Chains A and B, each alone.
Chain A
C-alpha cells in the first residue's frame, strides 16, 4: 500500500512535469522587471509611467510584441521586451490587462 502510494506520487510528479505548466503572469512580471515601474497590479510606481490595470489585454499584448520586435521604438521598453517569448507576452498581457 505504501509502495503504491509512493508510486502514484511519482507518476503524478512526472505527469505534472510533462505537461506545459501555464505561465504565471504575476511571477513573470516580477522576474522580468515589469513591476519596477508598473507595479505588481498595474498601478504605476510614479506618475510618469502608465498604469496598466484597466488596459485592454490585446492592446498590451500588441504593444509588447511591437516593442520586442522593434516595430515601436522606445528607449526603455525595447530592452525590457527584448527577451520575451510569445507565451510570456501573452501571460503578461493577461496578468495586467482586462
Chain B
C-alpha cells in the first residue's frame, strides 16, 4: 500500500513536470510563431529597410529599435499612425498598420532574433 501511494505520488509529480514542460513548449512555440510573424511584417512594411532586420538601423541617421520596450514601440507607432507629429517620415509608414500589426511589430523589435 505505501508502495502504491508512492507510485501514485511519483506519477503525479511526473505528470506535473510533463504538464509544465508541455506548457513551456507551447508558450515557446507561440512566442516563436509570433516573432516570425513580426519579422514578416517588419519586412512587408519596410521597417527593416531603415531599422534593420535585427533592430540595428542601416544608418546612424535612423534610430536603433532593438531593446526598446513594447509599450514604447506600440505608443510610438500609434502616435505616428495618428499623424500626431506633423511632417514625420514615419506617419506614412505607420498609416496602413492595424492594432494587431502594431503589437506584433513592437514585440518583434523589442527582441529581434
Chain A residues engaging chain B, CB cutoff 8 angstroms: 44, 47-51, 54-59, 62, 72-74
Main secondary structure of the interface of A (DSSP, over half): loop
On whether the beta carbons of A72 and B60 are closer than 8 Å, the reply is no
Main secondary structure of the interface of B (DSSP, over half): loop
On whether the beta carbons of A62 and B61 are closer than 8 Å, the reply is yes
15 residue pairs of the A-B complex, CB under 8 angstroms, read A47-B70, A47-B72, A49-B72, A50-B72, A50-B76, A51-B69, A51-B72, A55-B64, A56-B57, A58-B60, A59-B63, A72-B85, A72-B87, A72-B88, A73-B86
User: Which of the residues B62, B72, B76 comes within 8 Å of A59, measured between beta carbons?
Assistant: B62
**How near does chain A come to B27, taking the closest CB pair, in angstroms?**
21
B75 at the interface (CB under 8 A from A): yes
| Contact mask for chain B residues 61-96; partner A; CB cutoff 8 A; 1 contact, 0 none | 111101111111001100000000111100000000
Alpha-carbon distance between A55 and B60 when the two chains are bound, in angstroms = 9
